[in-house]
Amino acid sequence: MFKILDRYIIKTFFGPFFFIFSVLFFIFIVNIVWIQLGQFMGKGLTTLQIMKLLFYLGVNVISMVLPLTILLASIMSFGEFGERYELAAMKAAGISLTRVMMPLLGVVTFLAILLYLFSSNIIPDFQRKAKNMLFNIAQTKPALNFTPGQFIDQIPGYLVKFDKIEGEDGRNLEGIFIHKKASTFENQRSIVAEKGKFVTPPNKNYLQLMLFNGYVVEDSYAGKSENVRLKQPDQAIKFDTLVNHFDVSELINKAIEQEKITEDYRFENFNELFTTIDKTKKENVKLVNNISNEIISQTNSAVTYMDKNKSKAPVKSQYKLDTIKTDKKLEMIYNAHNRLNDLKATIDSKDQEIGPSVKYFNKVVLYQQRMISYSFTCIIFFMIGASLGSIIRKGGMGVPVIVAIVIFIIFYVINVGFENVAWSGKMSPYLAAWLPNMILFPFGVLMTYKALTDSQLFDSEKYKAFFKPLIQVFVKNKEHKRYQ
């Protein structure tokens, strides 16, 4: 059973926890909106679709938001304990800092396990939904954004082209050509107009276009034989004003939710990623062997000659350069130089060919390992935050927020830096995923030790006293000259 003190500590922690989590989640969402803004504008998306996409993308950032939230909340809660002298009262009552930290350590451990389960089982599903929505927006929604002078065939059943697009939101058009797609035995219809204007229709499933001064060219081929069709004249109807409706419901309502991408390592849970890693590793080994055999085959004659003489006496020169004419000697050197250059160019090109495969393998491993490593980051951030909070003894949104942001920036820079190194193949992805925790863990242990021993880590007077002998060396002479 939880004691009254444990309930009070947990209650004090979860107060700033929920507030900070909401603020950070909103900040990350705003960052996503800022990055993806170009894909939202002018695409005909409904508010519900935009909110749904932001929700899918937002769920994916919880793995980064939760550790930072724990860091901030722990600093603020323990800072408030110290600022209100509650830690001093607890210690006076014989309750150690370790005992104060234990209930929150249990809560943070539970949150870390929950984050692992969430990252392994829930985030992949939302990753799939978000990636498919973004793909469908990129593939289908541009049909509603017309490029001047280019034929657009992504509107269902039509081929359109506009020479000029002007005015507010690109509504005013000039030089309009619209062709209704039809098979050979269906009626063909084309519309040519001097000017036009997009009008907002009452039904969002339709795109309404008002045309001015043009012709409707149509034939009547349906159901007629080839001989009759050859004699059938086209019908041209002149119009002053014509309103044309495009049915874009397929783009607006269906394609945006359709899951066309089903295979991606980010859609898999922790255990399923083992299969992907093994499969990718075998493919990479096969690729490297093929490339190695191809390179060796280019130098086969030299390799065969060297292997033939491995167990025998040292290879003797077949020719004496002194006995070869100058022109022939230059030609031999030139040919050898060209062969080495060709081999070097081949090796460089093959190295670039291997690069993407190595990068993909490292990405998969990093993605899998971070499902666990970020959970341990939560515990390490709690150790650092609780210790710093008890040492700083400042609550609120001032000093604790600054300290927490600095620590998180350091962690983020280390994390991204090792990630880039691992992607290039210069570091094991397993090491890159865990190295930030390995660097911060000793710091967390040190901070916990300092907090348990009541270290005055941020006491400015302590540092002034430490550097006072050094300062007096430079100040003493000046004071002496002052009184001479």
In sequence order, the β-bridge partners of residue 173 are: 165, 196
User: From CA 281, how far away is CA 278, in angstroms rounded?
Assistant: 5
Q: Where are the domains of the chain?
A: 157-247
3-state secondary structure the chain: CCCHHHHHHHHHHHHHHHHHHHHHHHHHHHHHHHHHHHHHCCCCCCHHHHHHHHHHHHHCCHHHHHHHHHHHHHHHHHHHHHHCCHHHHHHHCCCCHHHHHHHHHHHHHHHHHHHHHHHHHCHHHHHHHHHHHHHHHHHHHHHHCCCCCCCECCCCCEEEEEEEEECHHHCEEEEEEEEECCCCCCCCEEEEEEEEEEECCCCCCEEEEEEEEEEEEECCCCCCCHHHHHHCCCEEEEEEEEEEEEECHHHHHHHCCCCCCCCCHHHCCHHHHHHHHHHHHHHHHHHHHHHHHHHHHHCHHHHHHHHHCCCCCCCCCCCCHHHCCHHHHHHHHHHHHHHHHHHHHHHHHHHHHHHHHHHHHHHHHHHHHHHHHHHHHHHHHHHHHHHHHHHHCCCCCCHHHHHHHHHHHHHHHHHHHHHHHHHCCCCCHHHHHHHHHHHHHHHHHHHHHHHHCCCCCCCHHHHHHHHHHHHHHHHHHHHHHHCC
Instruction: Report the C-alpha gap between 62 and 238 in whole angstroms.
Output: 60
**Digits of tens for pLDDT over the chain (484 positions)?**
457 888 888 888 888 899 889 888 888 888 777 766 655 555 556 677 778 877 887 788 888 889 989 998 888 888 888 788 888 888 888 888 888 888 889 999 999 999 999 988 888 888 888 777 776 665 544 445 567 877 777 677 788 888 888 876 667 888 888 888 776 666 778 889 988 887 776 666 677 888 899 888 877 666 666 666 666 666 788 888 888 877 766 555 544 555 556 677 778 888 888 888 888 888 888 877 877 777 677 666 555 555 555 555 555 555 555 666 666 767 777 777 777 777 777 776 666 667 778 888 888 888 889 889 999 999 999 988 888 888 877 766 666 678 778 888 888 899 888 888 888 778 888 999 899 999 999 988 888 888 887 766 655 556 566 666 766 666 655 444 444 4
pLDDT at 484: 47
Distances from the Cα of 216 to the Cα of 29, 180, 188, 193, 238, angstroms: 48, 11, 11, 9, 6
Whether the CA torsion 63, 66, 68, 70 is positive or negative: it is: negative
Beta bridge partners of 55: none
Q: What is the pLDDT of residue 483?
A: 46
Between the alpha carbon of residue 465 and those of residues 283, 451, 468, 469, the distances in Å are 63, 21, 5, 8
Question: In which residue are the tokens 């900040």 written?
Answer: 27
pLDDT at 110: 94
| Backbone torsion region of residue 95, taken as left when φ is above 0, otherwise alpha when ψ lies between -120 and 50, otherwise beta | beta
Q: Which residues contact 58 (CB under 8 A, 6 or more apart)?
A: 25, 28, 29, 32
- The per-residue pLDDT for 378 is 92
